[in-house]
Amino acid sequence: MGAYEKVLKARNSNRPSGAFFVNRMITKFVEFHGDRRFSDDGAIVGGIGFLNDMPVTIIAMERGNDVNERIKRNFGCPSPEGYRKALRLMKQAEKFNRPVICIINSSGAYCGMGAEERGQGLAIAENLMEMMTLKTPIISVVTGEGGSGGALALSVADSIIMLENAVYSVISPEGCASILWKDSAKADEAAEALKLTANDLYNFDVADKVIEEENMSYDEICDNLKCEILAELSELKDMPIDELLEKRYQKYRNIGKL
Amino acid sequence: MIGNFFKSLYGEKENKVCKKCGRSYTYSELVKHSMICPNCGEYFRMTPRERLVMICDKFEEIDANLTSENILNFPNYDEKLKTATKTSNSKEAVVYGVAEIAGQKFVIFVMNSEFMMGSMGRVVGEKITRAFEMATEKKLPVVGFTTSGGARMQEGIYSLMQMAKVSGAVKRHSDAGLLYITVLTDPTTGGVTASFAMEGDIIIAEPNALIGFAGARVIEQTIGQKLPEGFQRAEFLQEHGFVDIIEKREKLKYTISNILKLHSC
């Protein structure tokens, strides 16, 4: 499958979004709303629940399944208040010693006037800084589209897992083609050049694990993902905090090391 | 070091034309006016060299020879790097080193919009990370001048990951109780705004500098309308609470020196 086919597959509206993974993996889920600053962003669903018998904080980007849901979820494009809600829940997880699981599936942070007025850049920047030293394990999973800084703001993590047909890129192939070649129709070329597939990212040491999708239902994929998260957490939970944070720092320090 | 910088400022360049009022100036005349048009007050964009001469009494560059490679084998990137190196007369889009103002030592980095629009790839991210790591080790403040179109897409996911890498180094520097001042200059956008540009303890901006996350064209396409005058300018950001000080270029050295002094006791 070509890179652009994967992009289209990752974006496909039949592909499950964040809430599916929350509902299938987590029991007794309680959703928490709002950033305590401005509003509640529907593009990010967050709360607590049990992963098997372990309490976790889970934060998921949600695109919505029908027209009304999609409008409510702003098509999965978070605003600054979404990132601030996520950070609030992560700080809460740190306080109560719960691991954090982030589910990433968004074309990117919202590019609107209000988002700029309320500091989209600052909101992402603060998450990058704070996640780097959050004193509890963080696992980020890219399940569909990992769109640039808007995805990065939930993926400074101890472990990054990608589904096989998920993509993660600095810019959309259409955006890249339109800037470089003034022709968004060359998106397939751009997708190849950007090297944005799960396997590419695994080879670059950005993704730590790829979950296979071929010949499997989304239920099965999600169950395998859950097993992988549990395996990762059993290792990370026993690690001394200083060691965990040093390892997290070095993960990013070493990606594409000169 | 700084003496050589001065010489090259006065010697090499040709006349420059103000893009707002159209007047032409000799380069040395413009340098004397802090790269501000003496007629209409328009700010010319400044290279790291010009900025360092304006701000620092002393400067020692570090890692001057780090250059980028085409790690993804991205189409035409090699040629772009070559052209950028030639036209900007520099090796990458950021310069860093140890500097002094009025006897106060600090680490400084200055981005360069003439090199591929100041975009951040592995080398830019690495140099700024090293700047913070060195400052943390030597217990020095950091002053950073930003100007950037954002992440360098020719380096794909590696360029995006620089945002996290630099932010980690900024956080460690901050947790060590050390001061970080950012000076946002025209234009500061994209991944640089969404990382170290907005992570300063004190955020200064030059008047009328364009500062934002998304580009104006992208926002206009998203919302289907024209953006109002002054949107994403320094004054707009200050009004919305994101900038501490808007400082005139000719007073920047004094203001930075003063803030450094206030943190030195």
**Residue extents of the structural domains in chain B:** 1-44, 45-262
Our CA-based measurement puts residue B28 at a distance from the nearest CA of chain A, in whole angstroms, of 36
Q: How many CB pairs under 8 A join A and B?
A: 155
Contact check, Cβ <8 Å, A124/B75: no
Smallest CA–CA distance from A157 into chain B, residue: B164
A253 Cβ under 8 Å from any chain B Cβ: yes
Burial grade of A27 (CB within 10 A; 0-12, 13-18, 19 or more): exposed
Q: B131, B63 in Cβ contact below 8 A?
A: no
Residue A11, pLDDT score: 94
CATH architecture of the domain with range B45-262: Alpha-Beta Complex (3.90)
Chain A, 137 to 166: residues with Cβ < 8 Å from chain B are 148-149, 152-153, 156
Determine the distance from the C-alpha atom of residue A161 to the mean position of all C-alpha atoms in its chain, rounded to a whole number.
Answer: 9
Q: Give CA–CA dist B60/B96, Å, rounded.
A: 8
Q: Give CA–CA dist B179/A203, Å, rounded.
A: 37
Residue A185, pLDDT score: 87
Q: Give CA–CA dist A7/A197, Å, rounded.
A: 8
3-state secondary structure string across B115-167: CHHHCECHHHHHHHHHHHHHHHHHCCCEEEEEEECCECHHHHHHHHHHHHHHH
Q: Give CA–CA dist B140/B151, Å, rounded.
A: 27
Smallest CA–CA distance from A125 into chain B, residue: B195
pLDDT under 50 in chain A at which residues?
A: none
Selecting from A116, A126, A252 the residue whose C-beta is nearest the C-beta of B168 gives A252
Residue B8, pLDDT score: 56
Our CA-based measurement puts residue A116 at a distance from the nearest CA of chain B, in whole angstroms, of 7
Residue B222, pLDDT score: 87
Structural domains in chain A?
3-247 (3.90.226.10)
For B5-39, give the DSSP string: HHHHHHHS---EE-TTT--EE-HHHHHHTTTB-TT
Q: Give CA–CA dist B144/B142, Å, rounded.
A: 6
Residue B10, pLDDT score: 53
CA angle A139, A141, A146 (to 5 degrees): 130
A198 Cβ under 8 Å from any chain B Cβ: no
Token pair for A11: 């974006």
Smallest CA–CA distance from B228 into chain A, residue: A113
Contact check, Cβ <8 Å, B157/A193: no
Chain position carrying tokens 């400022």: B9
Q: Which of B119, B153, B182 to mutate to test the interface with A (most CBs of A within 10 A)?
A: B153
Q: A46, A84 in Cβ contact below 8 A?
A: no
Count of CA atoms in the C-beta half-sphere (13 A) of A80? 21
- The values of phi and psi at residue B199, to 5°, are -100, 5
Contact check, Cβ <8 Å, A121/B198: yes
Determine the distance from the C-alpha atom of residue A205 to the mean position of all C-alpha atoms in its chain, rounded to a whole number.
Answer: 16
pLDDT along chain B (265 residues), means of 10: 53 80 91 93 94 95 96 97 95 97 97 97 98 98 98 97 98 98 98 98 98 92 91 97 97 97 92
Burial grade of A103 (CB within 10 A; 0-12, 13-18, 19 or more): buried
Our CA-based measurement puts residue A226 at a distance from the nearest CA of chain B, in whole angstroms, of 26
Which pLDDT tens digit goes with each residue over B196-221?
999 999 999 999 999 999 999 889 98
A138 interaction partners in chain B (CB closer than 8 Å) = none
Token pair for B197: 């540009």
Token pair for A119: 């500091």
Percent of chain A with pLDDT over 70: 100
